[in-house]
Amino acid sequence: MEVFQFRSGPAPLLVSMPHIGTELPPGLAERMTAAGRLLADTDWRVDQLYDFLDDLGANVIEARYSRYVIDLNRPPDGQPLYPGASNTELCPVSTFEEEPIYLPGQAPGEDEVAQRRTDFWAPYHARIAECLEEIRARHGHALLWDAHSIRSRAPRFFDGKLPDLNIGTASGTSASPRTIAAVAGAAAAAAPAYSHVVDGRFKGGYITRRYGRPAEGTEAIQLELSWATYMDEAPPFTFRDDLAAGIRPVLRDMLAAALGAQPKGR
């Protein structure tokens, strides 16, 4: 079972897209509510938006299965990323709108969660770790960019409207000050058309926190992008080429700035 798609590139960059998947294992849809089957909390078409990654020479890993199967950006033990705030589970049972994902009695139990962790979560993370090791061996350092998107208004997680560009660095620990400043500078250059924040409501999930080890040669940045910058926020979640034409160059500039801030390669 192929749980992700991967393509390699020559740059010291790995772009991860853990929440773009829309596939479900056989039989799961029948256990889900209508709200669950909508898969509304997908990071819709982020791969289409980042269509310039091959030009940058990036390595790219893209999840195939829905985050409702298992959330690849959560720790394997299911501990909350943001203690004291609303969090979704390793295998979510409710949507961002707090609607049940499963029909009564159909939510996964402990054994099923453990099996999903083995089948879906572990292979994705093994490939991230392997790729970062390969990049460090070639270049002496690696940059991980975790690409996400979310609706601009999600009261479960934050008040009001989200900034357009939400840069997460695990409170400054997952990347060097130079890289953080470069990425933030590229985002700031897009004002007033686009707003940004560093380590606001979204400071980076498990992937950023787990793999961002600047002292060991790997830096990690998460970007949580507002849906309003590139798509319709209501079903069927249509990609908007007119909107994407504005934000796509900003994303490319941010990634190029992050790459430019890396140490000189071997």
Poorest-confidence range of 15-24, 83-92, 173-182? 83-92
Q: How sure is the predictor about 85, in pLDDT bands with cuts at 50, 70 and 90?
A: low
Bridge partners for 90 per DSSP? none
Give pLDDT, residue 78: 78
- 3-state SS assignment for residue 38: coil
Element (H, E) at 232: none
Domain ranges of the chain: 4-260
Residue 164: name the closest of 182, 181, 187 by CA.
187
pLDDT at 126 over 60: yes
Average pLDDT over residues 164-182: 98
pLDDT at 89 over 90: no
Give me the chain's average pLDDT, please: 95
Give pLDDT, residue 156: 87
Contact predicate 145/15, CB 8 Å = yes
Task: Enter the pTM of the model.
Answer: 0.96
Element (H, E) at 147: strand 142-150
Q: Which CATH number fits domain 4-260: 3.40.50.1860, 3.40.630.40, 2.40.30.110, 1.10.340.30?
A: 3.40.630.40
Give pLDDT, residue 236: 96
